[in-house]
């Protein structure tokens, strides 16, 4: 910087201002004169203030003569008070520039600058070392330094010449004390901190008031370079440069840039009046005042300064070696401090600094306490290689420390214990670099040369050449005289002229090197999207990584740990050529993750944090083999893509060949991990790799993974699984006993990975993971995800998963009562949910008897609290004998939901109506619409309740679809806890085959008549036989006279008349007989009038009565109230004529049968910050990336909001049936062409993306901007559609009903939603009551073109677009009036990388349920698996949200409660006779209802 300027070394050398005339006299003369002259002056100053008087010196001549004497007095030995009096007088006179004092001579007050310049030169004599009187000299030196400090601070009259003399004075005294090799407990060692502190403070004051000229800066730089063997030099430099940087950043980047906070003590070093330009100039000069800090790693440079050479040459000949100086043994410690200071500056520029309350350094490689007594160490250098270095633990490197701890560190013992336990896990999140940070090239232009050199300190490449540039910068003339220790450096490229063997301090320098490597990793990880980095920087960085990640005979543990800790996002930053170092990172991960103890790293870092960073890197490496496949690397670094040395380094191996190593690392990490957060990350990665493999095979793009038997030569030991990295031969996993070929077959296919994952997870779920809630939930989520992987595996593996979940539930339920808590019950509920997923995805599992028995026993355990069959007691307790004692009501509800799933959903999903609704889409209005009878109305239904849990709506009238032969038929709407189902029932007396052949009952026919009956005889029939006439009469027979005997004329007349009447009658009857006979002869046979026929089948039936009777519900016992119970009878009739009945039935139908979730998807272009800009992106496909549209369609399928019976993202349009299709054609005409949309078509107005399975449903909405011109039209259309969907509840429309706690919907809207021009407020149809839905479960998914923009995502501005209508509903205990708080609104950020992969960031999850899998922070996923993993993560986030909520009830519980409410309100309280009578009456008659 000042190469063309001369230094002031000659000026200082030739300056004799510190000498006196008395030096020409004999020593005794000068001593006597000084003692005599100075004593009165000193005593006058030290006298009490009352006796103090004016100075006895009145003229310039007197003052100058006295100063000559004082100058000599300052060189005297410290016996007596002479030197002290001299110092007292001079420090008193120096205050002439500060203020007027009587004790100061008038000549000094008149010309203070001239005299003070002389005084400063004289005071140099105080700092000449006096070894025998060190303590007294230290006190005098401190007195002078305090006076100089006060002079510079308080005086406003200092002239430029005085400033220059002052600066030269400070440089001179520092050089006098600090340039020579330090001796333990010397004055230099004691004063170094104060000397450097005063120098830098005065220098900064001079920069403000009288900026030093270039010669002064150049002189200071060269002198400081000679003092760097003192720790205080680097510490004070670090404090000053950090304070300057804090001021520099404040005005350079503005108030929005994260402030670089330093302690007030350090910040006060920078004068408040220093302007911005002065700060800038001073900062750059101070930055380079230390010269190249990498020189500190080379004793040959530090030990060849003039003072070192002078002392060496003046020593005892060659016996005194430079490397025996104790001060050089501190160089590793000083080197680390220097690199830590540079690291602080880099972090400040990156904007990732935060204040720290403790004195921990900012680096993950913790502060090393270097041995201060290294000079007494007799351990040979080759034996010191693996000696542990004491370190102080700190948390993840996320912030810079205050750079002020340096001054305190030298007072710490050399073997200080860590600040906190190395096993302590830090939950402190890793902050992102500031969006306004400078480019990587800019930071490297400032610090790159230092950092790259420091990162390669003492590194040797393949040819053994030491690449440390500082090692080549030594002077050869100084090296000629020094003894070498057999350096092995190549002589063809550099001269073997090292003063020290590089291995002399092999491990100590690793701390500074690790700091540099970690800083470089943070710099490159801060690369912005699309930012270009110079290839030279990239190549040097990759070389530093290759050297730092070397895994061989000697592993540099601090460097390796620092690189891993600071590189989690390294493979997510689109660095060009970064995949070249993939094999090196894999080797490093194989060293770290399968090692359970990490004993070699415990001294440097927190093992948990190291493993976490390693897992982050593993997450970003896992998709590479599948993504790049058979792609080969064109760049070969020592053949690292090959695991087999026999292949040679000239045969590159494909990325696919790395898959086995990565999977083995993943499995090894899972088997050795104990930290809950780390374990959850591994579990998420497992689902990622299994699902990706399954999709790859399903698409038919599976490539042959073993090419030419290449991989068969790989041994299992190369994976790092069979042996731990700590030179241990003990196997860490059972896999070590399995042959490599079997393992290859295991992991070659998705089925093998799936099977292995199930085995690993189920084994640990019922062992070490059982007590931990977070790991248990993640493991159950992983098992649920694995159940959905469409890969064929053996049924025994599926049964293993189900059985392990059942065993887990049994264990948790059987834990002692004091351990039962809400968290424990949440774990049990999650296990039941996992069980449901497996059963619904693989319903055929229950075809096996043992599996069905085990599942039903677990359901029984959950509902009743115990199993009926206890294998220990060998007895069976029946249901009626057991006292219900479930673990909790939540557990009971979860078990009931599982039972409902088994009975209702298995084998019946999706229904014919589609997956949008597990219920029937038929209700009363549908049946009325399709009934042929005009008299059918909603009052034609009979309503009964069975067992207080099922509402039956029976329609006895035919629907018009019966056959010609009517049979007893009934249509029943069954509303239960699981939903609404429609059944059409018919009473059948004949089997189906007979019904097909015979349409109605026909009796057997009569035989045909035969008129030929043989001979017909005319026989006169007699009433009595002929023998009667032969019997003689007796008197009695003659007692009744004959008629003619008693006839007279009168009787004769009557008798004739009677005869005539009888003749007529006989004639008439004979005619009738003839007529009848003729008619009979004419009549057909048989006579249809008289013939006996069977009755025809009944045409009308009271089918409701028949059905209830056949099912046994019409018994007297069923109608009676149960004894000693508050439950209603088994059968209850409901009165549908009571007001509000149909409204409550409609309310019940609105209660969903499955949990429902909502996802809002936003597209954020680079640089956008406002919500309106983001919403307008999706209006056209030209504004979004093609992969975004592909991603949308991978989440779900499009559905029309108006015709969709499921969840649509808003309660006003969800779960609607009987949709009107009259305007369907018009709507299609109004729909914009789908090809031109960027996703806005799925904004929830007309269409949404929808996904549903048997257990959940999700609506994916892409909010878009609303045109103010069409806003009102859209609102009207929405209202019409919503009204048309409300045919289900015509009774509600007659009277406006509102929520009790929320009279108007508008009042519940947040102010942002009310006034936002882009918000689309959906109104509920008039009278539609929204049932309470529990906690609001919604997630935002943000597609980021530029990753750094996630800090600018305006989530509060877009909150109005995420309304689901649930905000206005009430819960049992709380009311959720507003949207979720921002911190509780989960957001999944997706950033597409240039490689075609996707980087994921999950934000907003908090509390005990914070980490949800499979997507975790820093994960990289493939394009194939992205949609599935996002959807699965959303499902898991929302499930955990419901688990956490105190007010959430499962859908079947909410429906059951509503059914109970309906029973209590509308129960038809009839006596048994009245009830039976009503069954025989038509349902519409009022007489039936008392």
Q: How far is the C-alpha of 370 from the C-alpha of 329, rounded, in Å? A: 9
Pairing of strands 367-368, 391-392: antiparallel
Structural contact between residues 548 and 375, judged by C-beta atoms closer than 8 angstroms: no
Tell me the per-residue pLDDT of 1400-1442, one tens digit each, with 9 for 90 and over: 998 876 556 678 888 888 899 999 899 999 999 999 988 888 8
3-state DSSP assignment of residue 1175: helix
Residue 1395 phi, psi (nearest 5) = -75, -10
Among 347, 240, 337, 254, residue whose Cα is nearest residue 285: 240
Measure Cα distances from 446 to 439, 748, 1249 in Å.
Answer: 11, 48, 51
H-helix segments, 965-1048: 992-997, 1043-1046
Tell me the per-residue pLDDT of 937-960, one tens digit each, with 9 for 90 and over: 788 888 999 888 899 998 887 776
Tell me the per-residue pLDDT of 34-44, one tens digit each, with 9 for 90 and over: 777 777 777 77
**470 CA to centre of own chain:** 45
Higher pLDDT, 1097 or 902: 902
pLDDT at res. 635: 59
Mean pLDDT of the chain: 74
Q: DSSP character for 368?
A: E
The mean pLDDT value for 1183-1208 works out to: 88
Higher pLDDT, 318 or 446: 446
Among 1404, 1390, 1405, 1158, residue whose Cα is nearest residue 1260: 1158
pLDDT at res. 845: 87
Pairing of strands 1197-1200, 969-976: unpaired
1100 burial level (CB within 10 Å; 0-12, 13-18, 19+): exposed
Among 178, 152, 180, residue whose Cα is nearest residue 165: 152
Among 753, 752, 755, residue whose Cα is nearest residue 763: 755
In the chain, DSSP finds a helix count (H) and a strand count (E) of: 51, 17
Least confident of 228-237, 856-865, 1201-1210, 1268-1277: 1268-1277
Higher pLDDT, 981 or 1223: 981
Structural contact between residues 166 and 152, judged by C-beta atoms closer than 8 angstroms: yes
Q: Which value, in Å, is the radius of gyration of the alpha carbons in the chain?
A: 50
Least confident of 982-996, 1081-1095, 1101-1115, 1221-1235: 1221-1235
Higher pLDDT, 1291 or 448: 448
Res. 831 pLDDT band, cuts 50 70 90: very high
H-helix segments, 124-213: 134-154, 160-178, 187-209
Measure Cα distances from 750 to 697, 744, 788 in Å.
Answer: 8, 12, 13
Least confident of 218-232, 844-858, 891-905, 1275-1289: 1275-1289
The mean pLDDT value for 322-338 works out to: 75
Structural contact between residues 784 and 803, judged by C-beta atoms closer than 8 angstroms: no
Instruction: Flag whether pLDDT at 264 surpasses 90.
Output: no
Res. 1064 pLDDT band, cuts 50 70 90: very high
pLDDT at res. 1260: 92
DSSP states of 1354-1395:
-TTTTGGGG--SGGG-B-SS-B--SPPPGGGS-EEEEEE-TT
Q: What token pair was written down for 997?
A: 């052949």
pLDDT at res. 1342: 92
Instruction: Flag whether pLDDT at 1458 surpasses 50.
Output: yes
Measure Cα distances from 1047 to 560, 895, 1055, 1430 in Å.
Answer: 157, 109, 9, 126
Task: Give the CA angle between residues 520, 525, 526 to the nearest 5°.
Answer: 100
User: Is the torsion defined by CA of 422, 428, 430, 432 positive or negative?
Assistant: negative
Tell me the per-residue pLDDT of 804-823, one tens digit each, with 9 for 90 and over: 999 999 998 888 888 888 88
DSSP states of 272-316:
TT--HHHHHHHHHHHHTTT--GGGGG-HHHHTTSHHHHHHHHTSS
Tell me the per-residue pLDDT of 889-901, one tens digit each, with 9 for 90 and over: 888 889 989 998 8
H-helix segments, 1342-1487: 1426-1444, 1451-1466, 1472-1479
Q: Please, what's the b/e burial string for 51-72 (b: 16 or more CB within 10 A of its CB; e: otherwise)?
A: eeeebebeebeebeebbbbbbb
Tell me the per-residue pLDDT of 433-468, one tens digit each, with 9 for 90 and over: 888 889 999 999 999 999 998 888 877 665 443 444
Instruction: Flag whether pLDDT at 107 surpasses 50.
Output: yes
Least confident of 205-209, 479-483, 790-794, 1242-1246: 479-483
Among 1396, 1351, 1160, 1364, residue whose Cα is nearest residue 1263: 1160
Counting Cα atoms < 13 Å in the Cβ hemisphere of 200 gives: 32
Measure Cα distances from 1355 to 205, 1014, 1191, 1340, 1345 in Å.
Answer: 47, 111, 21, 9, 17
pLDDT at res. 356: 36
Q: How many C-beta atoms surround the C-beta of residue 47 within 10 A?
A: 12
Measure Cα distances from 1361 to 405, 1190, 1261, 1353 in Å.
Answer: 49, 23, 10, 14
Give all strands (DSSP E) within 686-821, no chain letters: none
Res. 1366 pLDDT band, cuts 50 70 90: confident
Res. 521 pLDDT band, cuts 50 70 90: very high
Q: What token pair was written down for 1141?
A: 């009945």
Res. 104 pLDDT band, cuts 50 70 90: confident
The top-scoring range by mean pLDDT among 437-451, 598-612, 962-976, 1069-1083 is 437-451
Q: How far is the C-alpha of 883 from the C-alpha of 877, rounded, in Å? A: 10
pLDDT at res. 648: 42
Q: How far is the C-alpha of 442 from the C-alpha of 651, rounded, in Å? A: 38
pLDDT at res. 524: 92
Residue indicated by tokens 């986030």: 1437
3-state DSSP assignment of residue 1134: strand
pLDDT at res. 1048: 83
Among 1475, 914, 1442, residue whose Cα is nearest residue 1200: 914
Tell me the per-residue pLDDT of 1240-1283, one tens digit each, with 9 for 90 and over: 888 888 888 999 998 899 999 998 887 544 443 344 434 434 33
Instruction: Flag whether pLDDT at 522 surpasses 70.
Output: yes
Q: How many C-beta atoms surround the C-beta of residue 225 within 10 A?
A: 18
Least confident of 19-28, 876-885, 1377-1386: 1377-1386
Q: How far is the C-alpha of 125 from the C-alpha of 19, rounded, in Å? A: 9
pLDDT at res. 736: 39
Task: Give the CA angle between residues 1324, 1435, 1242 to the nearest 5°.
Answer: 50
Tell me the per-residue pLDDT of 1127-1151, one tens digit each, with 9 for 90 and over: 778 888 888 888 888 888 888 888 8
Residue 731 phi, psi (nearest 5) = -70, 140
Residue 1136 phi, psi (nearest 5) = -80, -5
pLDDT at res. 308: 65
Least confident of 308-322, 1148-1162, 1286-1300: 1286-1300
Q: How far is the C-alpha of 1428 from the C-alpha of 27, rounded, in Å? A: 94
554 burial level (CB within 10 Å; 0-12, 13-18, 19+): exposed
Percent of the chain with pLDDT over 70: 72
The mean pLDDT value for 738-747 works out to: 47
The mean pLDDT value for 914-919 works out to: 86
Q: Please, what's the b/e burial string for 697-720 (b: 16 or more CB within 10 A of its CB; e: otherwise)?
A: eeeeeeeebeeeebbeebebebbb
Q: DSSP character for 865?
A: S
Res. 1060 pLDDT band, cuts 50 70 90: very high
The mean pLDDT value for 1153-1177 works out to: 88
The mean pLDDT value for 1322-1340 works out to: 65
Q: Which residues pair with 1258 in a beta bridge?
A: 1157, 1251
Tell me the per-residue pLDDT of 364-417, one tens digit each, with 9 for 90 and over: 333 333 333 333 333 333 333 333 333 333 333 333 333 333 333 333 333 332
User: Is the torsion defined by CA of 1452, 1455, 1460, 1463 positive or negative?
Assistant: negative
Res. 541 pLDDT band, cuts 50 70 90: very high
Among 137, 206, 129, 138, residue whose Cα is nearest residue 168: 206
Q: How far is the C-alpha of 1462 from the C-alpha of 977, rounded, in Å? A: 13
pLDDT at res. 961: 58
pLDDT at res. 1301: 28
Structural contact between residues 1131 and 946, judged by C-beta atoms closer than 8 angstroms: yes
Higher pLDDT, 562 or 1011: 562
Quote the pTM value: 0.79
Spatial neighbors of 813 by CB under 8 A, at least 6 apart, are 828, 861, 862, 865, 887, 891
pLDDT at res. 1236: 64
Res. 997 pLDDT band, cuts 50 70 90: low
Q: How far is the C-alpha of 1034 from the C-alpha of 1476, rounded, in Å? A: 73
């Amino acid at each position: 910087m000042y190469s063309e300027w001369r230094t002031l070394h000659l000026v200082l050398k030739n300056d004799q201002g510190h000498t006196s005339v008395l030096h020409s006299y004999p020593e005794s003369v000068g001593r006597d004169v000084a003692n005599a002259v100075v004593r009165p002056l000193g005593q006058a100053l030290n006298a009490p203030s009352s006796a103090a008087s004016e100075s006895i010196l009145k003229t310039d001549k007197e003052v100058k003569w006295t100063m000559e004497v004082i100058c000599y007095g300052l060189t005297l030995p410290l016996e007596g008070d002479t030197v002290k009096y001299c110092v007292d007088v001079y420090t008193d006179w120096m205050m002439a520039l500060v203020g007027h004092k009587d004790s100061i001579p008038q000549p000094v007050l008149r010309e203070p600058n001239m005299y003070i310049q002389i005084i400063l030169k004289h005071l140099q004599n105080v700092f000449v070392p006096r070894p025998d009187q060190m303590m007294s000299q230290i006190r005098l030196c401190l007195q002078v330094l305090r006076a100089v400090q006060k002079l510079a601070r308080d005086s406003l009259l200092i002239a430029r010449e005085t400033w220059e003399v002052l600066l030269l004075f400070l440089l001179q005294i520092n050089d006098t004390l600090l340039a020579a090799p330090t001796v333990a407990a010397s004055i230099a060692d004691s004063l170094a901190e104060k000397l450097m502190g005063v120098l830098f403070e005065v220098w900064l004051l001079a920069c403000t008031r009288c900026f030093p000229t270039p010669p002064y800066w150049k002189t200071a730089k060269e002198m400081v370079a000679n003092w760097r063997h003192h720790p205080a030099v680097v510490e004070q430099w670090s404090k000053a440069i950090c304070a300057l940087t804090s001021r520099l950043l404040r005005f350079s980047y503005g108030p929005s840039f994260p402030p670089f906070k330093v302690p007030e003590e350090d910040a006060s070093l920078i004068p408040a009046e220093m302007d911005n330009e002065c700060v800038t100039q001073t900062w750059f000069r101070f930055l380079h005042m230390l010269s190249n800090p990498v020189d500190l790693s080379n004793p040959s440079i530090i030990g060849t300064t003039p003072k070192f050479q002078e002392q060496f040459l003046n020593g005892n000949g060659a016996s005194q070696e430079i490397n025996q100086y104790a001060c050089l043994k501190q160089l590793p410690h000083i080197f680390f401090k220097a690199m830590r200071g540079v690291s602080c500056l880099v972090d400040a520029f990156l904007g990732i600094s935060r204040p720290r309350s403790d004195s921990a350094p900012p680096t993950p490689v913790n502060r090393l306490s270097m041995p201060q007594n290294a000079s007494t160490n007799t351990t040979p250098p080759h034996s010191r290689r693996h000696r542990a270095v004491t370190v102080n633990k700190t948390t993840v490197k996320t912030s810079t420390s205050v750079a002020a701890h340096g001054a305190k560190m030298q007072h710490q013992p050399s073997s200080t214990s860590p600040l906190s336990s190395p096993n302590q896990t830090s939950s402190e999140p890793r902050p992102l670099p500031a969006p306004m940070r400078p480019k990587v090239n800019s930071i490297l232009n400032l610090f790159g040369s230092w950092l790259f050199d420091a990162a390669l300190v003492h590194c040797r490449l393949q040819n053994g050449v030491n690449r440390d540039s500082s090692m080549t910068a030594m002077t050869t003339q100084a090296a000629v005289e020094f003894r070498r220790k057999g350096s092995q450096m190549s002589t063809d490229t550099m001269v073997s002229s090292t003063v020290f063997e590089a291995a002399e301090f092999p491990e100590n320098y690793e701390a500074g090197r690790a700091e540099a490597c970690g800083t470089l990793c943070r710099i490159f990880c801060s690369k912005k999207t699309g930012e270009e980095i110079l290839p030279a920087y990239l190549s040097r960085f990759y070389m530093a990584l290759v050297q730092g990640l070397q895994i061989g005979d000697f592993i540099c543990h601090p460097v390796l740990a620092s690189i891993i800790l600071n590189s989690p996002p390294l493979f997510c930053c689109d660095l060009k050529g970064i995949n070249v170092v993939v094999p090196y990172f894999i080797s490093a991960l194989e060293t770290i993750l399968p090692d359970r103890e990490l004993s070699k790293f415990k001294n440097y870092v927190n093992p948990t944090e190291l493993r976490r960073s390693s897992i982050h890197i593993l997450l970003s490496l896992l998709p590479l083999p599948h993504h790049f496949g058979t792609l080969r690397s064109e760049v070969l670094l020592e053949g690292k893509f090959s695991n087999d040395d026999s292949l040679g380094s000239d045969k590159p191996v494909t990325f696919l060949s790395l898959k086995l190593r990565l999977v083995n690392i993943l499995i090894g990490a899972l088997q050795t991990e104990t930290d809950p957060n780390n374990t959850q990350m591994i579990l998420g990665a497992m689902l990622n790799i299994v699902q990706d493999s399954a999709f790859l095979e399903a698409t038919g793009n599976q490539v042959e993974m073993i090419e030419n038997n290449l991989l068969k030569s790989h041994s299992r030991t190369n994976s790092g699984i069979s042996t731990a990295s700590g030179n241990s031969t003990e196997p860490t996993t059972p896999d070590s006993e399995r042959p490599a070929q079997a393992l290859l077959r295991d992991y070659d296919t998705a089925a093998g990975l799936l099977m292995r994952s199930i085995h690993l997870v189920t084994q640990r779920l019922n062992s070490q993971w059982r007590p931990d809630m977070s790991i248990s939930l993640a493991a159950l989520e992983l098992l649920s995800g694995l159940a959905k992987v469409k890969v064929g595996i053996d049924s025994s593996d599926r049964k293993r998963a189900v059985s392990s979940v059942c065993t887990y539930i049994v264990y948790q339920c059987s834990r002692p009562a004091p351990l039962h808590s809400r968290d424990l019950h949440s774990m049990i509920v999650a296990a039941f949910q996992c069980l449901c997923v497996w059963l619904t995805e693989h319903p055929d599992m229950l075809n096996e008897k043992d599996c069905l028995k085990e599942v039903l026993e677990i359901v029984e355990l959950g509902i009743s609290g115990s199993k009926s069959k206890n294998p220990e007691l060998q007895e069976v307790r029946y249901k009626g004998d057991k006292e219900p004692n479930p673990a909790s009501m939540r557990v009971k509800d979860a078990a009931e939901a599982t039972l409902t799933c088994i009975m209702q959903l298995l084998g019946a999903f999706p229904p014919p109506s589609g997956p949008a609704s597990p219920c029937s889409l038929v209700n009363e209005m549908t049946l009325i619409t399709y009934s042929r009878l005009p008299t059918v109305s909603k009052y034609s239904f009979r309503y009964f309740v069975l067992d207080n849990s099922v509402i039956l709506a029976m329609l006895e009238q035919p629907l018009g679809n019966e056959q010609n032969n009517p049979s007893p038929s009934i249509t029943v709407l069954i509303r239960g806890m699981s939903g609404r189902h429609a059944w059409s029932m018919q009473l059948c007396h004949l089997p189906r085959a007979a019904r097909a052949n015979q349409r109605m009952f026909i009796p057997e026919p009569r035989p045909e008549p035969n008129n030929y009956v043989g001979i017909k005889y005319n026989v006169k029939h007699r009433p009595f036989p002929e023998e009667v006439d032969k019997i003689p009469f007796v008197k009695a027979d003659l007692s009744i006279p004959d008629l003619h005997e008693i006839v007279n004329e009168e009787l004769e007349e009557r008798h004739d008349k009677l005869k005539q009447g009888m003749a007529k009658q006989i004639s008439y009857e004979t005619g009738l007989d003839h007529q009848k006979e003729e008619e009979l002869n004419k009549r057909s046979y048989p006579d249809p009038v008289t013939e006996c026929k069977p009755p025809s089948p009944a045409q009308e039936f009271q089918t409701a009565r028949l059905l209830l009777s056949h099912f046994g519900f019409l018994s007297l016992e069923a109608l009676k109230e149960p004894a000693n119970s508050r439950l209603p009878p088994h059968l209850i009739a409901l009165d549908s004529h009571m007001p509000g009945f149909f409204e409550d039935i409609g309310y019940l139908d609105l209660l969903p049968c499955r949990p429902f979730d909502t996802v809002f998807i936003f597209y954020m272009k680079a640089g956008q910050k406002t919500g309106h800009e983001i919403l307008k992106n999706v209006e056209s496909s030209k504004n979004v990336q093609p992969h975004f549209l592909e991603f949308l369609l991978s989440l779900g399928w499009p559905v029309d909001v108006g015709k969709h019976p499921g969840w649509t993202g808003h309660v006003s349009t969800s779960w609607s049936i009987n949709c009107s299709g009259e305007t369907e054609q018009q709507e299609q005409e109004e729909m914009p062409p789908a090809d031109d949309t960027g996703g806005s078509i799925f904004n929830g107005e007309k269409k949404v993306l929808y996904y549903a399975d048997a257990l959940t449903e999700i609506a994916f909405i892409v909010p878009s901007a609303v045109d103010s011109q069409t806003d009102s039209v859209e609102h009207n259309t929405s209202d019409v559609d919503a009204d048309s969907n409300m045919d289900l509840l015509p009774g509600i429309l007659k009277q406006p009903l509102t929520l009790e706690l929320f009279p108007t919907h508008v009042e519940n809207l947040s102010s942002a939603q009310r006034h936002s021009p882009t918000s689309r407020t959906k109104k509920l149809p008039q009278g539609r009551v929204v049932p309470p839905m529990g906690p609001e479960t919604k997630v935002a998914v943000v597609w980021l073109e530029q990753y750094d923009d996630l800090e600018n995502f305006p989530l509060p501005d877009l909150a109005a677009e995420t309304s689901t209508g649930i905000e206005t509903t009430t819960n049992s205990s709380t009311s959720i009036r507003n949207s979720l708080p921002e911190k509780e609104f989960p957001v999944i950020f997706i950033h597409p990388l240039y490689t075609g992969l996707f980087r994921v960031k999950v934000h907003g999850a908090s509390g005990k349920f914070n980490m949800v899998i499979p997507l975790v922070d820093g994960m990289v996923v493939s394009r194939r698996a992205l949609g599935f993993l996002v959807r699965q993560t959303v499902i898991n986030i929302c499930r955990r949200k419901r688990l956490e909520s105190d007010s959430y009830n499962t859908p079947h519980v909410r429906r059951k409660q509503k059914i109970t409410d309906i029973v209590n309100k509308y129960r038809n309280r009839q006596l048994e006779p009245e009830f039976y009578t009503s069954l025989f009456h038509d349902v519409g008659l009022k007489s039936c209802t008392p």
